[in-house]
């Protein structure tokens, strides 16, 4: 306080009443600012605290699990049968389902989302954009359970016409629908990144005789690459964490496979299954969901780190 008022006082100001008045006003303002600061800190603290709490619970419960099942077995076993008498806990089984379905989803979402973003940002008339944006937002507002049944009851039968051997539950159909679900995210974030590219850059390209498509692909996309990469990473995170579509349409049997034509459980689908089931709390079988949850958390963390690294790399390059 004192040092602040000393700084504030003009050099040579010697009238004490003026100084104290300034001090008083400053004090009340400071008080208000402090209160706001404290409030903001509290808000930040709550979210950090929640995150820390989640990690704490996951790690604590996982430790219980790993006291029964050695870590190396968790990582290397190729079977996932926690409910059988001969129990196996190989996370790679669930991981394969997660990776395969996410890969299918991204194969759909990235090309489609990027194309839509380029169209909306560089080609669409303001009127077309006005119509398309809310439609996309609507699409991202559809509950995932609806997508799940859409996959199971509409997409799978459709795919079965093409691939007669396709089982009723499969990763392909769930992955495709999951991709459709992610498209709005990828498109919207990519579009924001492209629209943020300064007009001056586009004009520079047009002034060189470039077409709209050339300008979009050779100038706008490279300039927006960090934002587009962020959109993809967010898409990956959503795919990895998606639960309902997979629980409904991909079947829930653990299956170590990278073949999208097979049914398989993902980490998330398994967690739902156990959480809703009637395994006694505290049993090793129940404890598995924490270990699986931790694996999921680490997986998302990994993708976020990759996203972070990519963004930094590209920011350096451009």
Partner 1 sequence: MLGSARPGAAGLTPDASPPPPLKAESRDLSFHYGNGFKALNAITMPVHEHRVTALIGPSGCGKSTFLRCFNRMHDLYPGNRYEGAIVLHPDNTNLLADDVDPIEVRMRVSMVFQKPNPFPKSIYENVAYGLRVRGVTNKNHLDDKVEESLRGAALWDEVKQRLNEVGSNLSGGQQQRLCIARALATDPEILLFDEPTSALDPIATASIEELISELKKRVTILIVTHNMQQAARVSDYTAYMYLGELIEFDRTDTIFFKPGRKETEDYITGRFG
Residues lying near partner 1 in the complex (CB under 8 A): 125, 198, 200-211, 214, 218-219, 222-223, 225, 317-318
Evaluate whether 33 touches 25 at the Cβ level (below 8 Å). no
- What is the token pair recorded at 167? 């089982």
In angstroms, what CA-CA distances link 7 with 3, 22, 253? 6, 12, 71
What does the DSSP assignment read for 177-246? Answer: HHHHHHHHHHHHHHHHHHHTS-HHHHHHHHHTT--HHHIIIIIIHHHTHHHHHHHHHHHHHHHHH--HHH
Nearer to partner 1, 87 or 201 (CB): 201
80: helix, strand or coil: strand
- What is the token pair recorded at 152? 């199971």
* Shortest Å, Cβ 230 to partner 1: 16
* Shortest Å, Cβ 192 to partner 1: 17
If one counts every other C-beta atom within 10 angstroms of the C-beta of residue 99, the result is 18
Residue 191: burial class (beta carbons within 10 Å; 0-12, 13-18, 19+): buried
Nearer to partner 1, 145 or 208 (CB): 208
* Shortest Å, Cβ 118 to partner 1: 16
Distance CA 251, CA 245 (A): 10
The alpha carbon of 262 is separated from its chain's Cα centroid by a whole number of angstroms, namely: 25
- What is the token pair recorded at 312? 């930094």
* Shortest Å, Cβ 226 to partner 1: 10
Nearer to partner 1, 40 or 208 (CB): 208
Nearer to partner 1, 125 or 165 (CB): 125
In angstroms, what CA-CA distances link 4 with 11, 17, 22, 31, 38? 13, 17, 11, 14, 20
* Shortest Å, Cβ 190 to partner 1: 16
Nearer to partner 1, 25 or 218 (CB): 218
- What is the token pair recorded at 159? 């795919």
Nearer to partner 1, 187 or 219 (CB): 219
* Shortest Å, Cβ 116 to partner 1: 22
Nearer to partner 1, 122 or 262 (CB): 122
* Shortest Å, Cβ 207 to partner 1: 4
């Amino acid at each position: 306080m004192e040092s602040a008022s000393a700084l504030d006082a003009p050099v040579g100001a010697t009238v004490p009443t003026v100084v104290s008045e300034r001090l008083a006003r400053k004090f009340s303002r400071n008080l208000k600012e402090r209160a706001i600061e404290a409030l903001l800190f509290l808000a930040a603290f709550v979210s950090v605290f929640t995150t820390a709490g989640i990690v704490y619970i996951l790690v604590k419960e996982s430790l219980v699990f790993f006291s029964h099942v050695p870590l190396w077995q968790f990582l290397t076993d190729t079977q996932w049968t926690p409910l059988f008498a001969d129990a196996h806990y190989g996370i790679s089984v669930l991981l394969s389902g997660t990776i395969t379905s996410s890969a299918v989803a991204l194969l759909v979402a990235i090309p489609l989302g990027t194309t839509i973003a380029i169209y909306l940002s560089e080609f669409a008339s303001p009127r077309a954009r006005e119509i398309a944006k809310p439609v996309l937002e609507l699409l991202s507002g559809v509950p995932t359970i609806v997508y799940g049944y859409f996959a199971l009851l509409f997409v799978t039968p459709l795919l079965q016409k093409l691939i007669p051997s396709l089982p009723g539950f499969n990763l392909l159909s769930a992955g495709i629908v999951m991709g459709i679900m992610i498209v709005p995210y990828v498109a919207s974030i990519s579009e924001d990144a492209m629209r943020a590219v300064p007009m001056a850059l586009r004009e520079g390209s047009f002034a060189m005789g470039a077409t709209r498509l050339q300008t979009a692909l050779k100038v706008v996309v490279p300039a927006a690459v960090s934002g587009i990469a962020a959109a993809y990473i967010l898409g990956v995170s959503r795919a990895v964490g998606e639960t309902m579509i997979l629980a409904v349409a991909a079947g829930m049997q653990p299956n170590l496979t990278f073949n999208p034509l097979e049914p398989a459980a993902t980490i998330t689908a398994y967690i739902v299954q156990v959480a809703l089931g009637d395994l006694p709390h505290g049993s090793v079988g129940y404890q598995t969901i924490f270990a699986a949850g931790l694996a999921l958390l680490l997986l998302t963390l990994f993708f976020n780190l990759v996203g972070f690294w990519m963004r930094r790399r590209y920011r350096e390059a451009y």
